[in-house]
Structure 1
Amino acid sequence: MTNLNEEVTKILGQYFEDINKEIMTTLSNIGPEDLREASIYLTKAGGKMIRPALTVLVSEAVGGTMSSSIKAAAAIELIHTFSLIHDDIMDKDEMRRGKPSVHKVWGEPVAILAGDTLFSKAYELVIKSKDKIESNNPEECLGRVNHTLSTLADACVKICEGQAQDMGFEGNFDVKEEEYMEMIFKKTGALIAAATEAGAIMSGADEETISAMHDYGKLVGLAFQIQDDYLDLVSDPDSIGKPVGSDITEGKMTIIVVNALANANEEDKKRLVEILKIGNESGNCGQEYVDEAMAIFDKYRSIQYAKNVALGNIDKAKKLLEILPDSEAKHKLSLVADFVLERQN
């Protein structure tokens, strides 16, 4: 696992400088200064940039180049960052990537504006990418840009829908697995699917390949969120940057909770709901309740179930890569998929 982590970190690092340069260039002319600094703040806070790297990797895997997809890749990262800023405001989270959240530093009004600015700059970047597409057909270039813009717009709507669904799950302990999977696709998977789809679009892939790359991203995104659910219960606090079992202490619905509630006997189900309600109402239900919930999860093998679902999604995602010709980029896409399942933070 360590070797895979190192290998994927190296892969992501190969694209970081170019993507970051695009981001810094497009954000450098924002004014006034506090809005500019608030907009730039999280982009300098150490994110992995998996999403934009996937955009470039898919572009290369379908026969394109970094030049044709780099602005779309940077746009994906700006949209991701915008969503984090707004999520932190809504969830009242005070820390992000080991630093105070944007709204804690500049206040909520400026943080909202910073998110809105990043959202707008993302679309500006995609529009400007038409001059970088390697094609002598202006109509084809415009078509790729419009297709990418449509893809990003659809993903942004889904992100908002997913956040609304997630908020609606608070205090609702009758959530079905299909409802939960729909929510995490919209909240997490949709932008990763847009990232991989955009890479294929910008490099002129055919519709079958574009669709396959969208589905690859969707499955990777689902596995990414399920792995987060899993890590919350099995990692050490230093790795994930928060106490183990924090989802339980906050009464959150995860695939593990959903599975346990669906399979538990009436006594265990009632007790688990009681624990989640305490967390939901207090925001921190205490370690003894976490231990009790963990025992219920173990009894019904819900933690292993979540791991198996994530593994199944990654296997399907890698299967979709068979549509691509053999290349170094294709191999890297397979490694990134494995990394999503094996990462520890």
Structure 2
Amino acid sequence: MSSTSEPPGEGGRTVGEVGEGGPTVGEVGERGILGEVFGVLAEHGAAAESLRDVVVGPGDDTAHLRVRTGAVLATTDTMVRGQDWLDAWSTGQDVGEKIVTQNLADLASMGGRGTGVLVTLLCDRELPLAWCRDLTTGLARACSRAGVPVVGGDLSAAGPGVVAVSVTALGELAEGIPGAVLRSGARPGDVLAVSGPLGRSHAGLEQLRAGARQGRWVDHHLRPWVDLEQGPVAALAGATAMIDVSDGLGRDGGRVARASGVDLLLDEAAVDDLAARLAPELGLEAARRAVLGGGEEHELLATFPVGAVPTGWVVLGGAEQVQGEPTVRLGEQALDPDGGGWDHFGG
């Protein structure tokens, strides 16, 4: 798996560039779409047939995978045009890379590695085939970096203007990990740490809203990439609870606190250190809000016994005996569990 925590920088993306011109998916039909998809997957090394644990890949009624550890991890996410991305900002490639990352980060948060992904595309018949090709390129690049094959999926027509992409990721626990790391295992006295920087995606979103179309934070918002191997690393180090930061430190930390029945206390100096990375572009107060509430980061937030935090992780604070309702606190201030981050129905 990839060990980079920065965007790969493959280039070639223009923000807002939608594949216009050429045939539409309705004009080429399902066979034409699949021909494009399978060609792109093979070109980028994400074709299932090349992976040793794929017995049967796309083409039959279902995929057939070998399971070496005797247990399967499964997760799914969906992105909808206009709700989860805007064509003015995101290309099909951006969408493909982002949705693979958010699914594989969920597997990593339990100590897992991906073994295969299933992709579903629902779209208007007038969607340009070029956009579908770009989407597949993003999917293939992200899967290839992670060493995870695309093993199948589904296509369906949808109403005017509708485009939705759904990925189901399958995985298994890394070798030597006895059981999945859950949200519910944090204990008073544990150390709270994160696998990398926070706030980059939110900073990129703010820059896009301000009219910027390029830059490292914009890139991270559109095509996030994290070191997925840190999930197994944390599990092998003895992580007691773990979650990926998809909806913001406050929201996701709150989920760990409630599931574990502990309070999580954030160190103000540690938060300020993370914010300092973003402050030149956002200002310090906005940078602090980005660190505490910014979603779509996909770094891993975990608790560890004292002395067990892996090298390279950033210590943020610790778990304490609960004082009433489990909460996340910054100093003496309790963070709003519904503040920042993202709610698919509430915004």
Q: TM-score, normalised by structure 2?
A: 0.31
Which structure has more relative contact order (CA 8 Å, sep 6+)? It is: 2
If each structure's strand is expressed as a fraction of its own residues, which one has the higher value? 2
Higher helix proportion (structure 1 or 2): 1
TM-score normalised by structure 1 residue count: 0.31
